[in-house]
Amino acid sequence: VEEYSQNFIIGNFTKLIRLLGFILSLYFLPLSYIFSTSSYFTSLNIENTSSIPLSFQFLIGVFVIELFRNAIIHTPNSLSLALSIVVGFILGEVSLSLGIFMKDVLIVLSIFTISSFSVPSYELSLSCRVLSIILLIVSILFSLPGFIISVLVLFVHLTRLKVLSYPYLYPLVPLNFKELKNKLTRRKKEK
């Protein structure tokens, strides 16, 4: 709603940030793993300075973040902010000093977590997180080809879905450029 109650520029900026957050919350985690480990991107390989394999660092990190997110939900509001700050700093510092996680992995997990909070719908954010974790597991098992195939399977599945006999991905599939433009940008109000 605030996208349409704000100024034209601010409304479009908000839409752009939310769209970027949605894309990052879905694809950033598996793509970061692929870019850091795959032989397809040799110049981007990250040297693992931890004793734990990179795949387990990603999986353990996602598990801890989801565990922490659930703990925060069930914590009284007066304590949740303080708890989140203290636990975040403690987990970050301790995991780095013990060599459990690399700094790069913590940065990737932080961007993934922040981007999932930028998705305005809780249900869509939850779906993005679950799908991102599934894509991460497929990427760990099958690298880039597995990621590409799973993204295509997901896209085909979404194109076949209908909500109240309305295509789920409309106006992208079937393509209606005018409606897609209206969904992605806000038109300036005429005076």
pLDDT in tens, 112-127: 999 998 888 889 999 9
170 close to 179: Cβ distance less than 8 angstroms: yes
Choice between 113 and 188, residue whose per-residue pLDDT is larger: 113
Q: Which residues pair with 167 in a beta bridge?
A: 162
pLDDT averaged over every residue in the chain: 87
Give pLDDT, residue 161. 94
Q: CA 110, 112, 113: angle at the middle one, nearest 5? A: 65
pLDDT tens column, 5-58: 778 788 888 888 989 999 999 999 999 999 888 777 665 556 777 789 999 999
CA-closest candidate to residue 131, choices 26, 20, 6: 26
Whole-angstrom CA distances from 66 to 16, 41, 119 are 26, 29, 16
Give pLDDT, residue 5. 73
Cα dihedral sign, 45-31-55-98:
positive
Q: In residues, how long is the chain?
A: 191
25 close to 116: Cβ distance less than 8 angstroms: yes
Give pLDDT, residue 4. 66
Rounded-to-integer distance, Cα 22 and Cα 36, Å: 22
